[in-house]
Structure 1
Amino acid sequence: MNYFQSESECGNGKNTWTYGEYVFNLFRHYISNGVNGYMYWNSVLQDGESTWGWLQNSMISVDSKTGESTYNPEYYVMRHYAHYVQPGAHLLSYGGHASGEATAYENPDGSIVVVMSNSMNHDRDITIDVKGETYKAHLKEHSFETFIFE
């Protein structure tokens, strides 16, 4: 049976990095627990306000006065998953360093993608074990990272 996460939390319209980290962990939580898809509600909002007048976060904000657009932290969360994890990818069991903040996938082309975050207040050096190989990686503090192994 397939499951789809269809109700994302909309935030408060401030589009902070801290909330982006929270959303990253929501993605990781739902995907790690069996959903096959994730619906993000607000791709683009003008002035951070929904059509019913509620301030909400979005991936991209548009300023109604200048027309200028801003890519918000949640855009980068979505990009790490949507850009590198291919349609038809399979979730892998991942138990390496930072496994509480990571998910791993095998793409249809055989590449392995590990998407992780570092919510710590300091950089971290970690090792990633993939298909019998060990790789070293450096994670900057409060960052989202994607590693691709072919």
Structure 2
Amino acid sequence: MGASDFGTNAYSYAEVPNDYAMEHFSIKREEKSVIPYIKLAQKYNPNLKLFASPWSPPGWMKYSGLMDQGKENAAENKLKDDPEIYKAYASYFSKYVSAYKKEGIDVHKILIQNETDISTKYPSCVMHPEQMYKFVASYLRPEFDDKNIKTEIWAGTFRTYGALDALEFANKDAYLNAVDGIGIQYTNTKFISDMNLLVNNKPTMHTEGVCYNGKNTVEQAFKRLGEVASYINYGISNYCYWNMILNETGESGWKWKQNSLINIDREKQEVTYNPDYAVMALLSKYMQPGAKRIASFSKGTIISLKKDNTVFLFVQNKTDVAKNYQCVEKGETVAIATIPANSVAVISYVSKKV
């Protein structure tokens, strides 16, 4: 919602200061590229579900008065604790969902604040669990109910970088009851396990993968597989890659580089598919809706899935020699495969065990 860390500059949909009634609210800036991009994606996948999250409220809603430059103004990089601001911000969310719906785009989920625990040079906003709960329970939920907006409201997105906001949020029944789910990213597996013990079957989701540094190496792609596995194997049912397409620089408006699935050289009109693209293509081919993670044991197995009666074993061979894999179910060998050196493969077989 508005500028992310990879926008060309900071912007929101309510640029006029003190516009509490949202009279000047507008998504016009996104009509040029963002909305056509989403519509094209919907053309290829009509079942696509979208979630949205702001990196920062409009600057005038914060103590700093700025969407970005939080690194220099960390103490003031927060949403104002003011009823009129809360009301205006709730209206901001509902108008965003409604404006996109008029464009033929349904926003399935709203996550209240991206990376709630950090102040950065790019758009950001620190929002502790107690303020998030207060905003959702007393302002945003009533606003959505009043406007008959069915978009889900999720807490997060939380990280575990110097704070345990996800655990603090999940540890309070009132907080959990106020939201439809919890979004996390950059989270160590032990904290994922801790959170899942607290959420009482409340849905959870992964919201952003590691961004790296724009080098797009094979080594980083191999690490990506382990990252995906860390969420799936510890109870999160999805993985969300971050930058799908960047230009030839791989650089944001704040002069830092990140990895992406694809780079497009605007001058040469050349498209480069990066190593992460191969990883996500492989995972997406088999990690389909309806598949279930199953238990398995092997030093080389990353993720084990089962859909209907077919088992898919994602195997990573990091060695310089080919390795043989023997798949055993309850003492019976059901498949044998040779995995080439320094490669990733999927072993699939029809399970004989129901």
TM over 0.5: yes
Residue type of the partner of 1:92? I
Instruction: For residue 286 of structure 2, give the secondary structure of its aligned residue in structure 1.
Output: coil
- Any residues of structure 2 matched to 1:90-105 within 5 Å, and which? 90-96=292-298, 98-99=300-301, 102-105=302-305
Q: Which runs of 5+ in 2 are unaligned?
A: 1-200
Which runs of at least 4 in structure 1 moved beyond 6 Å after TM superposition?
none
Instruction: For residue 127 of structure 1, give the secondary structure of its aligned residue in structure 2.
Output: strand
Instruction: Report the equivalent of 1:7.
Output: 208
Closer, same or farther: CA 122–26 of 1 in aligned 2, 3 Å: same
Alpha-carbon contact 1:59-1:71 (below 8 Å) kept: yes
| TM-score, normalised relative to structure 1 | 0.87
Q: Distance in 2 between matches of 1:111 and 1:49?
A: 42
Instruction: Report the equivalent of 2:270.
Output: 68
Deviation for aligned residue 1:143: 1.1
Give the fraction of aligned pairs with identical amino acids, expressed as a percent. Answer: 29
Closer, same or farther: CA 133–97 of 1 in aligned 2, 3 Å: farther
Instruction: For residue 146 of structure 1, give the secondary structure of its aligned residue in structure 2.
Output: strand
Alpha-carbon contact 2:326-2:333 (below 8 Å) kept: no
Instruction: Report the equivalent of 1:124.
Output: 323
Q: Distance in 1 between matches of 2:226 and 2:241?
A: 14
Instruction: Report the equivalent of 2:237.
Output: 36
Deviation for aligned residue 1:13: 0.6
Q: Which runs of 5+ in 1 are unaligned?
A: none
- Any residues of structure 2 matched to 1:104-115 within 5 Å, and which? 104-107=304-307, 109-115=308-314
Higher share in strand: 1
Instruction: Report the equivalent of 1:139.
Output: 339
- Any residues of structure 2 matched to 1:44-63 within 5 Å, and which? 44-47=245-248, 48-63=250-265
Count of residue correspondences: 147
Alpha-carbon contact 2:245-2:262 (below 8 Å) kept: yes
Higher share in helix: 2
Q: Deviations over 1:70-129 (max 9, x none)?
A: 211111111121111221211000114623xx211111x322111121122322122122
Deviation for aligned residue 1:38: 1.0
Alpha-carbon contact 2:261-2:273 (below 8 Å) kept: yes
CA RMSD of aligned residues (A): 1.8
| TM-score, normalised relative to structure 2 | 0.39
Task: State the structure with more CA Rg.
Answer: 2
Which has the bigger relative contact order, CA under 8 A and spacing at least 6? 1
Instruction: Report the equivalent of 1:82.
Output: 284
